[in-house]
Amino acid sequence: MSTGLSGNYLVRRLNSAAADARRDFPRARDFFEIRRQALKLRYWPAPHTTEPSGHVIDLDWSYIRALPGLDIGELRVDDEIGGPGNIRILFLVGPADRRFPMRCFWILTVFPKKRDDFTSHQLDSFAARRQIVLARFYGPSS
User: pLDDT tens, 31-57?
Assistant: 999 998 898 888 776 544 444 555 555
Report the distance separating Cα 57 and Cα 37, nearest Å.
Answer: 10
Are 66 and 123 a contacting pair, CB within 8 Å? yes
Report the distance separating Cα 75 and Cα 52, nearest Å.
Answer: 13
Boundaries of every domain in the chain: 11-137
User: pLDDT tens, 76-103?
Assistant: 888 788 777 788 999 999 888 878 888 8
Residue 25 burial (10 A CB sphere; 0-12, 13-18, 19+): buried
- The single-letter DSSP state of residue 99 is T
**Is the whole model's pTM more than 0.95, yes or no?**
no
User: pLDDT tens, 3-23?
Assistant: 456 778 889 999 999 999 999
Residues facing 56 on adjacent strands: 59
